[in-house]
Chain A
Amino acid sequence: MTQELSTVQSWLQEQAKAHAEPEWLRQMRERAWEAFQNAPVVRLEKTDLSRRTWDVVPPAVAAVAETGAEAGQLIQSLTEQSDAYVYVRDGQVVQVRVPADWSETGVIVADLHSAAQQHADLVQQYLGQVVSVEESKWSALNAAVWQSGLFVYVPRRVSVPGTVHYVVEDTGSGVGIAPRALVIADAESRLAFAEVHISSGDKPSGPVRSHVLEVIAKSGAQVTVVTNHAFHAGPTNFSTSRARVENDASVDWVFTDVGDGFTVGIVESDLVGSGSRSTVRALGLGYGRQHLDLTASMLHRGKYSISDIVMHGVLRGRANSIYRSSTHIFKHAVGAGSEQHDRMLVLDGTARADAIPMLLIDENDVQRCGHAASVGRIDESQIYYLMSRGISKSEAMRMIIWGHLQPTVDAIPSEAVRTLVRSRVDEELSE
C-alpha cells in the first residue's frame, strides 16, 4: 500500500478507530467511498448538477458550536413532552434521551455508532438494505462518511408510547455532513418517528450534504415517518428516504421543506408486501432562489397494495420547485391502487413550480389509479369571499395559504415538531 490516502480516507480511519467500528462496517465505508469517487457525473432531468461541486471536507476535529435557538427550543419542548430524541450537532452526538418507562418495552433508540457494536446483528443485517450503497453517487457518499446516525428498533407487537425524534443541527462548522437513520419496526409494532434538520449559521457555498433514511416496516407494522427540512442557500442537499413495507404493514410519510436551499430529494415506499399501504403528505414553502427537486414514489410490488400521495407547495420570490409524484405498479401486483394529488400555489410571477404526475402500470388488474395536478395563483374568488367578511387582503391570503398547508402540518404526530414547522411557515409568510 504505497498509495497516499486522501484526507477523507485518513479521517474515516480515525473515526473508525475512535468508534471501534466493526470490520464489516469499515469495509462497507471503503466500498462506498470507492463507489462515490467512481460514480459518473450525475445528470438529472430537472436539476442541473453540473455546477455543483462534490467536495467532501471532513468536519473540524472538535465541534465548538453552540446549540442554536431553534434547536434549543425544540430540545426543551421534547424534554417537556417526555419524548425520546437523539440530538446531533455537526456530526457529533450531543444528547440521547429515552424516557425511563420505555425500556421495559424493549424499544431501542441509540446512536448508530453504538448500535453497530451493541446490536451488531440487526445493524449489519439491515444497514444499506433499503437504500443501497451503490444506487446513487450521493447514497454512496452517505454510506462512506455518515457520522452520528440514529438507530431505532421496535420489537414485535410493541406500540411505542411517544414519538422518536432525530434532531440534526448543522451550524456550518461541520461541513459535508451525512446524517443517516435506520429504523426497524418489527411485526405488528407501532412507531412514530420524526426527523428535524436544522441549519443554523451561514454556510459556505459548495459542500455537499447527503442524508439517508432507511425504514423497515415488517408485517403488520404501522409506522409514521416525518422529515422536516429547512435548508438554506449554499450547500447541495441530497435526501434519500425509503421504506420497505411488508405484508399488511403501513408507512405514512410527512415531508416538510421550508427554505431557500438547493435540494434533491426522494421519499419512496417499496410496497413489497401483500396488502401493504403507504401515504405521502408533502409540504413545501420555497423562497429566495430555492431549488427543490422532490420525488414522492410508490413501488407497488405486493398484491392489493394501496398508496396515496398528496403534495402541497407554495412558492415565492425566485423559488423553483419540481414536485414529482410517481406510482409504479409492477406486474403481478394484482388489485393495487393509488391516488396522487399535487397542488402548487405560485405567489410571485418570478417563482416557478412543476407538478409532474407519473403513472407506470404493468399490471392489468388494478383497482384505481388516479392523479390530479395543478399549478396556479391563489383563487381570486377565495380572497374576495374572505374580504367580504371584513378580513384584510393580506390576512385573507395568509389564511388561504395556511389552509393549503395546514392539513399536512396537522398530520405530524409530535406537538413540538408541529409547533416548529408552524413557526417556520409563519416566519416566512410574515415577511
Chain B
Amino acid sequence: MASPHFKITGLKVAVEDKEIVKGLDLEIRGGEIHAIMGPNGTGKSTLASALMGHPAYEVTGGQVTLDGQDVLDMAVDERARAGLFLAMQYPAEVPGVSNANFIRTALNARLGEGNEIPVIKFHRQLQEKMKSLNIDPSFAERYLNEGFSGGEKKRNEILQMSMLNPRIVILDEIDSGLDIDALKIVAKAVNDLRSPDVGFLIITHYQRLLEYIVPDFVHVMMQGRIVRSGGRELAQKLEANGYDWLKQELGIEDETVGAEA
C-alpha cells in the first residue's frame, strides 16, 4: 500500500455542545512523526478521540481525509480498517474476552474475510511482539485490560499497535504513568514501526518521550488550535523554559479552551 497521506483541515470538535477544538489544520505523511504538545485542557485528547470517532465527540466543522477519503464519514471500525490507530489514554476493560482473542479478531477484521491469519502464525507473531515489549506471556490469555495496571494497559495499547499494521498512529499521552524503562520499551516499539508506510501523531505533555522518539515536527496546542509549529528544537525549548514565553509572544493569558485571550 502506498505511503499514507492524512490531512486535517479546519477541524472543529464539540463535547456536550461546548466547542473544544476550534479550527485545526495538520498534515501527516507516511514516515513523518508529528508531536502535539501543550498544557492540560487545551484540546489535545479531544482531537485524538474525535479523529477516531468516539461517539461523545461531535465534529462541528472541517475535514479529515486519509488518502483523499473522507474519514469523518466512516464509522469507528471503518476508520480502523482504513489504517487509523489510536493508543488510548484510558482503554476500556472487557471481562471474559482474552487479549489474544481480541487482537486476532481485530487483525482478521483488517485482513478481511478469506485472508485471515492462521492461528499458529498469529500466536507466534504475538509471542514475538510480547517478548520484544517485555510483556509476560500470560498476558495473552488474560482478559482484555481487566485488572491491568496503568503501565500494563499502555503496553497493551502498544502491543496492539505493533500487531495491527496501522498506517496512521495516534498516541494519546502514552507516556503518562510509565517509568523510564517502560518508556524506552514503548519508544523502541514506535521506532521499530517507523517506515514510509506509517505516519505518527504523538500527543504528550512532556518532552521526555521525545528524547526517545525523535519527532520531525512539533506543534503546540492552546485554546483548541495549533498556535506554533516547529522542529524538535521547539520541544527542547518548551522543556527548558515552559510555555510562558510562548504565551507572552502570542498574547495568551489563559491557554485552556474556553478562555479567549
Contacts and interface: CB of A to CB of B under 8 A. Distances in A.
A353 to B, nearest CB: 18
A388 interface: yes
A390 B81 contact: yes
A386 B77 CA distance: 8
Nearest to B96: A403
A53 interface: no
B226 interface: no
Contacts of B81: 390
Contacts of B164: 389-390
Contacts of B93: 382
Given A384-B76, A388-B80, A406 B105 contact: no
Contact of A380 (B55, B105, B110, B144): B55
Contact of B77 (A391, A404, A405): A391
A388 B94 contact: no
Contacts of B94: 382, 385-386, 399-400, 403
A376 interface: no
A399 B97 contact: yes
Contacts of B105: 391, 395, 399
B102 A404 contact: no
B77 A387 contact: yes
Contacts of A396: 77
B102 A386 contact: yes
A390 B77 contact: yes
Interface residues of B, number: 31
B106 interface: yes
B52 A403 contact: no
A395 B96 contact: no
Among A382, A388, A391, chain B packs the most CB atoms within 10 A around the CB of A388
Interface in B44-69: 52-55
Contacts of B79: 388
A399 B77 CA distance: 15
Given A384-B55, A403-B143, A393 B92 contact: no
B75 A393 contact: yes
A389 B92 CA distance: 12
B223 interface: no
A311 to B, nearest CB: 14
B160 A385 contact: no
B95 A403 contact: yes
Contacts of B76: 384, 387-388
A407 interface: yes
Contacts of A379: 92
B193 interface: no
Interface string B90-131: 011111110001110110011000000000000000000000
Interface in B152-183: 160, 164
- The 5 A-B pairs of least Cβ separation, nearest first, read A403-B96, A389-B106, A390-B80, A385-B92, A403-B97
Interface of A: 379-382, 384-393, 395-396, 399-400, 402-407
17 contacts: A382-B92, A382-B93, A382-B94, A385-B88, A385-B91, A385-B94, A387-B76, A387-B77, A387-B80, A389-B85, A390-B80, A390-B164, A403-B94, A403-B95, A403-B143, A403-B144, A405-B96
Given A382-B92, A384-B55, A388-B80, 9 more contacts: A382-B94, A386-B102, A387-B77, A389-B160, A390-B110, A391-B80, A399-B101, A403-B144, A406-B97
